[in-house]
Structure 1
Amino acid sequence: MPCATHEVLDLEPSGFAPARARRLVRDVVSPLVPADVAHTAELLVSELVTNAITHGTGVVRLSIDCADHALSVTVGDEEPAGPEIQPERLMSMGGRGLRMMESLASAWGVTARPDGHGKDVWFRLP
């Protein structure tokens, strides 16, 4: 996957943010990586942005980096508390995003911001 790009988008915390994030991923990543990788990136970005809006605070920052045959995506917000994987509940409408991250990403994690004002949740593909 030879690619090279760096894109950043600040998203207001609204119901439109996940769609805007998916669109950026589709526009930026699709020409650079195989279709299955682009689709997975769209899905995971949508989940992370939704989580940031639901559980975080402030503006949501989406960063996309493609270099050295790897796609790295980061979604940050101003809430310092990190996400937790919830127990599986069959009838629940939520709680699946981080499980998908574990299943689909080659690596993922949470990084606290050095100033203590927020966190970044990131994943790598393929």
Structure 2
Amino acid sequence: MSLPLLRPPSADPTREFRLDLFPPAVPEIVGVLRRLLRDTLRGLGLDADPACLILSELVTNALVHGVGAPAVVVELRGGRLHIAVSDASPAPVARPAPDVSRTSGRGLDLVDALADEWGVELIGSYGKAVWAISAVSV
């Protein structure tokens, strides 16, 4: 999902933000990114739990199934949080069939349950971005 870099003139800088992050491809980064988002949203008085889980799942999937270091964009605008995580793999995102006995592979099920909408965009021969949009509340 391509997010514009310009902030609209009507934007409230105390209620909107954008983070463009290029973290290393190490498992420990998931917790670091989750804490960064949690602290940012809580600082604005917003519920951080659903957004942090979405971010954790998307970054984990990029690390486990993607190629190279992920790129992460998190943007709050108009009361909606936009999260996009890209990696260099053009391979399609595989979502296993629902199975209650599975002990892993439920990340996109969680994203689907928590996000208002989500999807995948191919970035030409450069890979893909998995994105999610979720309303945030006080």
TM-score by length of 1: 0.88
Corresponding residue for 2:7?
A: none
Which residue is equivalent to 2:33? 21
Of 103, 113, 132, the match for 1:123? 132
What's the C-alpha RMSD, in Å, of the aligned pairs?
Answer: 1.5
Please give the per-residue CA displacement for 1:65-102, whole angstroms capped at 9, x wherever unaligned: 01122110111111111312102233333111111111
Aligned pairs for 1:40-119 within 5 A: 40-113=50-123, 115-119=124-128
Deviation (angstroms), 1:33: 5.3
Cα separation, 2, equivalents of 1:77 and 1:29:
25
Q: Secondary structure at the match of 1:98?
A: helix
Higher Rg of the two aligned structures: 2
Question: Number of aligned pairs?
Answer: 122
Once the two structures are TM-superposed, the CA of residue 29 in structure 1 deviates from its matched residue by: 2.2
TM-score by length of 2: 0.81
CA distance in 2, matches of 1:120, 1:87: 21
Task: Tell me the CA shift for residue 5 of structure 1.
Answer: 0.3
Amino acid aligned to 2:94: E
Where has structure 1 moved over 3 Å in runs of 4 or more?
none
Structure 1 unmatched runs, 5+: none
- Preserved CA contact (<8 Å) 1:6 1:66: yes
